Amino acid sequence: MEKKRTYFPPTTTQQRYLLFKTWEESGNVTQACAKAGVCRQTFYTWKPRFEEAGYAGLDEAQSHAPKNPNRIDKRVAEQVIRLRSEQPDWGKHRIADELSKRNSWVAVVSPNTVRRILQDAGLWSSADRPAKKNS
């Protein structure tokens, strides 16, 4: 039977203070973690911040949000803009296909990413969309 890991929810500021106060008094990480109700990984995660800033470093947790989600390489964005400038009739699918064709048919960007790059560059508008036939 596999050993199940115990889930520890995010710590509170009071838990972190108690953790490091107990650790300073006893010098025992295991005892401090047990008293504060946190796992050892929590101690080692917060220890560098405690050593750098003391108890003030324990006040706020760092954000888990990605810092630069879904960023496209500038060279790819430049290629998309250049292709659109050279071929203004091409849409997002054609530009994405041309880039993948130049990369041995390995997808470089999705059509919607092409659209987003062109929108950011001011080269895309909803008027660029062709009218639907027999609607």
Domain borders along the chain are 13-58, 74-128
pLDDT (tens digit per residue) in 9-34: 788 999 999 999 999 999 999 999 99
Q: Kindly report the number of other CB atoms within 10 A of residue 33's CB atom.
A: 20
pLDDT for residue 1 is more than 80 = no
Contact yes or no for 118/76 (Cβ under 8 A)? no
pLDDT (tens digit per residue) in 107-123: 999 999 999 999 999 99
Cα angle: 32, vertex 36, 41; to 5 degrees: 70
User: Measured between alpha carbons, how far is 124 from 55 in angstroms, rounded to an integer?
Assistant: 51
Q: How confident is the model at residue 79 (pLDDT cuts 50, 70, 90)?
A: very high
